Amino acid sequence: MPRMSIRPILLHPDPRLKKACPPVTAITPEVAQLAEDMLATMYDAPGIGLAAPQVGVLTRMFVMDCIKEEGAAPRPMVLINPEILWRSEEQNSYEEGCLSIPEHYAPVSRPAQVRMRWTGLDGKTHEDEFDGLWATCAQHELDHLDGKLFIDYLGPIKRQLITRKMEKFKRELARG
Ligand code: K2U
Ligand code: ZN
C-alpha cells in the first residue's frame, strides 16, 4: 500500500471548487488512499475538515476531525456520499474560514444541529447527529461537494472583495 501523501489544496477562484460532485460509486483502494491523503493534508494544513474537490478530486467525500482539546485523542471521520436528514430550526453563527480561501474569515449562520447519513470506508451506512463546531464543519464540507463556498453566504460586495484579493494572491504565488 503506497504511503499517504499531502496533496496541494486548490485556491479560490477555481472552477473545480464550483462544481457539484458526483457520488462515490465504489469504495476502491484509490478511494481509501484518497481518504488517507485528505486526512494527512487536513492535519498538515492544519484544518478541522477537508472536502475532496479541495484537492482537485470531484467526488462526494469529505473528512473531518473537530477535536480541538490539546492532548485529546483525534477523531478522524471519513464521510462518503453524505446527506443531511434533518436540520434544527435553531441557528448558530460561526466565524468561518476555508483552506481554499486562506486568511479570510466571515460570520456564517447555519443550523445548530444536523442529523446526517453517510457511507463509511467500511462500506457500512452510518447515521449520527452533530452539533457545535462538528455541525458547522459538516455543513461547510457538504457545501463544498455541491460547489458552494462560505463566501457565497456573504453579500456580493464582500464576496467580490475577497475574490479580487485571492486573484491577486494567486498572481503573486504564480510569480514565485
Ligand atoms: O473546508 C475547509 O476549508 C476546512 C475548514 C473547515 C471549517 C471551516 C469553517 C468552520 C469550521 C470548519 C478548515 O478547517 S478552516 C480552519 C479552521 C480551523 C479551526 C476552526 C475553524 C476553522
Ligand atoms: Zn472550505
CATH number of residue 87's parent domain: 3.90.45.10
**Integer Cα distance of 146 and 141 in angstroms:** 9
Q: Is residue 10 a part of any domain in this protein?
A: no
What is the predicted pLDDT for the residue at 13? 98
- Ligand closest to 62 (CA) is 1
What is the predicted pLDDT for the residue at 103? 97
What is the predicted pLDDT for the residue at 2? 66
Q: Is residue 87 a part of any domain in this protein?
A: yes
CA of 32 to the centre of ligand 1 (A): 22
Q: How many domains, in total, are found in the chain?
A: 1
What is the predicted pLDDT for the residue at 71? 81
Q: Is residue 9 a part of any domain in this protein?
A: no
What is the predicted pLDDT for the residue at 12? 98
Active site amino acids: 141
Q: Whose CA is nearest to atom 10 of ligand 1?
A: 96
What is the predicted pLDDT for the residue at 3? 83
What is the predicted pLDDT for the residue at 69? 76
The response to whether residue 97 sits with its C-beta less than 6 Å from ligand 1 reads yes
What is the predicted pLDDT for the residue at 68? 74
Q: Is residue 120 a part of any domain in this protein?
A: yes
Q: Is residue 1 a part of any domain in this protein?
A: no
Q: Which residues of the chain have pLDDT under 70?
A: 1-2
Instruction: Please report, for residues 6, 82, 84, 113, 126, the alpha-carbon distance to residue 116 in angstroms, rounded to integers and kept in the order given.
Output: 28, 7, 4, 10, 8
Given ligand 1 and candidates 140, 144, 154, 166, which is best to mutate, with the most ligand atoms within 8 Å of its CB?
A: 140
Q: Is residue 8 a part of any domain in this protein?
A: no
Q: Is residue 32 a part of any domain in this protein?
A: yes
Where in the sequence is the domain holding 158, given as residue range(s)? 15-175
Q: Whose CA is nearest to atom 9 of ligand 1?
A: 96
Burial 43-68 (b: 16+ CB within 10 A, else e): beeebbbbbbbbbebebbbbbbbbee
The response to whether residue 137 sits with its C-beta less than 6 Å from ligand 1 reads yes
Claim: this prediction has a pTM higher than 0.85: yes
Residue length of the chain: 176
The one-character DSSP state at 165 is H
What is the predicted pLDDT for the residue at 73? 86
Average pLDDT value over all residues in the chain: 96
Q: Is residue 2 a part of any domain in this protein?
A: no
The response to whether residue 65 sits with its C-beta less than 6 Å from ligand 1 reads no
Chain segment 36-69, per-residue pLDDT in tens: 999 999 999 999 999 999 999 999 999 999 987 7
